[in-house]
Amino acid sequence: MPSLTSVKAALATQAIETPSWAYGNSGTRFKVFAQPGVPRSAFEKLDDAARVHAHTGVAPTVALHIPWDKVDDYAALAKHAEDQGLRLGTINSNVFQDDDYRLGSVCHPDAAVRRKAIDHLLACVDVMDATGSRDLKLWFADGTNYPGQDDIRARQDRLAEALSEVYTRLGDDQRLLLEYKFFEPAFYTTDVPDWGTAYAHCLKLGDKAKVVVDTGHHAPGTNIEFIVASLLRENKLGAFDFNSRFYADDDLMAGAADPFQLFRIMYEVVRGGGYTPDTAFMLDQCHNIEAKIPAIIRSVMNVQEATAKALLIDREGLSAAQTSGDVLAANAVLMDAYNTDVRPLLADVRSERGLDPDPISAYRRSGWADRIATERVGGAQAGWGA
Ligand code: AOS
Ligand code: ZN
Ligand code: ZN
């Protein structure tokens, strides 16, 4: 059995990155329900993120999205983060919201549109230089809706060309994270639809290119933990976008729909040596109807619980059962860990770090929700509706 001290130490050093867009208003294409007190600027998003970190102790970085979080002075934004014990994290690019991108961005048939998209990605690397961010996350809405609409292979060539130009621009300590998604907004082909395509491009680019696994980006029934294990074997897992889904890319709270899947994923992370700062554990979700800050705290706690259970697995017992071919015993080892109530353990980890053992009620008692509802009028829309 793993020692409790080592499990606690591993949990105390966990780092989960929260997305700036989760703090703003969001919705579906049917309706955005505005909430009182939502941030009006990137600075205020950081103020909210600081509350999540203050209560959980494990959310020290915030992912930004350009242009939704565009500011004149990124050094000032980084300083604002630092003043509250935060750091700016992954830079998310956006080559999907302009009219020019009707037929795609870096895969667009027109070289002028591709140039515009690549220039935006290069500008995002400039932002990384200013914020001190390590990672550039690329997700492309590129694809086609109808058979014959465009040349699928030519689009892959255009993609490779764009990625290579951006990759060349990266500094020594910067990374390119390529995110795949099987459909949406394109419905016939997507240019980076799966981990195989992302992996093939990253392999060609080099060591600084890694794959992002967004848990909501697979066909129903896909074994995501197998993908995680495979990418870790190849040293190509760069990051997670955690969220939950019941149907498609639902972007619900991480660990809400299928905590068992999150546990299985975290087990492969731990098993495969991926529980290190080299893997960015990010949330990518939206809170359309629930209160945002406590929902993010809940998601962070759900990831912590899945991680605690994965760390508690009796690896030696599991290995012995696997080697002897004892199918039921092996499965029982995993289920024993999964069925452990790790909430008291995590409460201890928090108390030992001087935090309230119950982050959600600590947040509720803090009065922050009332304060921002009074002080902030005319909150910003996150810009993301799906
Ligand atoms: C899109 O479906 C994605 O999950 C992306 O990670 C996206 O870039 C992010 O939600 C915000 O831009
Ligand atoms: Zn994502
Ligand atoms: Zn998504």
Domain interval for residue 9: 4-375
**What is the rounded distance in angstroms from the CA atom of residue 283 to the CA atom of residue 262?**
12
Pocket test for ligand 1, best of 177, 218, 284 (most atoms within 8 A of CB): 284
Residue-wise pLDDT for 44-59, tens only, equals 999 999 999 999 999 9
Q: What would the pLDDT profile of 321-379 be if each residue is shown by its tens digit?
A: 999 999 999 999 999 999 999 999 999 999 999 999 999 999 999 999 999 999 998 87
Residue 382 domain flag: no
In whole angstroms, give the CA distance from residue 303 to residue 284.
13
Q: Burial of 350 by CB count in 10 Å (0-12 exposed, 13-18 middle, 19+ buried)?
A: buried
Give, using CA atoms, the residue closest to atom 7 of ligand 1: 139
Q: Is 383 within a domain?
A: no
Task: Specify the number of domains making up the chain.
Answer: 1
For the chain, first and last CA: distance in Å? 42
> Is 240 domain-assigned?
yes
Is 363 domain-assigned?
Answer: yes
Domain of residue 91, CATH code: 3.20.20.150
In a domain, 57, yes or no: yes
Phi, psi torsion values for 278, nearest 5 degrees: -70, -20
pTM equals 0.97
Atom of ligand 1 nearest to the CA of 241: 6
d(CA 75, CA 151): 42
Would residue 59 count as lying in a domain?
A: yes
CB atoms within 10 A of CB 101: 20
| ipTM tops the 0.95 cut | yes
What is the three-class DSSP state of 322? helix
CA distance 174 to 248: 31
- State how far the Cα of 180 lies from the Cα of 191, in Å rounded to an integer: 9
Token output for 343: 């909430």
- Which amino acid would we find at residue 102? R
Does a structural domain hold residue 220? yes
- The residues lining ligand 1, judged by C-beta closer than 6 Å to any ligand atom, are 21, 65, 92, 139, 179, 181, 214, 241, 249, 284, 384
Residue 87, helix vs strand vs coil: strand
Cβ neighbors of 194 (< 8 A, separation 6 or more) are 180, 182
Span 287-299, pLDDT tens digits: 999 999 999 999 9
